[in-house]
Amino acid sequence: MRKPSTNAYIALAIVSIFWGTTYLASRIGVRHIHGIMLAGIRQGTAGFLLTGFFLLKGYKLPEKMVLSKLFVMGLLMLVGSNGLMTWAMQYIPSGLGAVISATVPIWITIFSYFLVKKTRISIQLLVGMLLGFAGVAGIFYNYLSSLMNPDFRFGIMLSIFACICWALGSVLTAKWALGVNYLFGAGFQMLFSGIVMLLIATLFMGQQFSAESFTAELWESLLYLILIGSILSYSAYVFTLNNLPPSLASVYAYINPIVAVLLGWVLLRESLTWLMGVCSLVTIGGVYLVNNAVNKNKQKQLQ
């Protein structure tokens, strides 16, 4: 890997900050339409714009096998993850969803262990995983009364399953060498997932497009999610992965939840107590230990 450029660090900053703001934008958007519909419009539009851009530049359609794998990855990472997490925003605070999402690297480590290559189980890895999940569990102390609400419990289950889907999709992405431009491939993932989510929302969930639902606030949410959340931030994420070491690129996972929690507290008046702050830091610390242990293991294997 060549020496990181200033642009690589700028891309990392974009991912770290702006991806954390999408929880807030989703939380606002689901006030007007169902989360699956919101995610479907977001990903479908972003995918159409990205794939259209590359096709106009002369790129050819990938082979059927590649498209089928992109479809599966889109189902896992965007329908299963982004779609369910957006849906969860109807029932739980945006900051809580972001903190739960911070456990994704832990889930990736678990799936990698069974599906790719078994990582050496070290004390640091175990401690990190325990701290990560314990931090999330500690946050629920402030929501004990809310746990009696079936909608809240449903939102929590959706967000956890979303993390699992993203982790599984990430492992498959690393396992499958598709030989296609990353952003071109991401465009197809978004396009496929957007179509699937819109079909699910309209045909199976009975959701309909209503002109009354598309308020100025919803349009602002959608435009932000499409342009900033999907196109800009995802492009920056891909650029970061290809220009910075994985250990440095993963920094965004520690910053996103902090941004989301603070924005939810300031703009949506979501609950924020000292216990939530401490537990959020414990979760982030646990994720750091897991990433650090995995990176150490990789370095030893290369020696």
Contacts with 270 (C-beta within 8 Å, 6 or more apart), sequence order: 93, 94, 95, 96, 261, 264
**DSSP per-residue string spanning 98-117:** HHHHTTHHHHHHHHHHHHT-
What are the extents of the domains in the chain? 6-302
pLDDT by 10s per residue, the chain, length 303: 455 578 888 988 998 899 889 999 999 999 999 999 999 999 999 999 999 999 999 999 999 999 999 999 899 989 999 999 999 999 999 988 988 888 887 888 788 777 766 566 778 878 888 888 888 888 777 787 888 899 999 999 999 999 999 888 877 776 776 778 888 988 999 999 999 999 999 999 988 878 788 899 999 999 999 999 999 988 888 788 777 766 667 778 778 888 888 888 888 888 778 888 888 888 888 888 877 777 776 666 555
* Gap between the Cα atoms of 108 and 144, Å rounded: 28
Residue (of 102, 245, 282) closest to 274 by Cα position:
282
pTM, full prediction: 0.86
What letter represents residue 269's amino acid? Answer: R
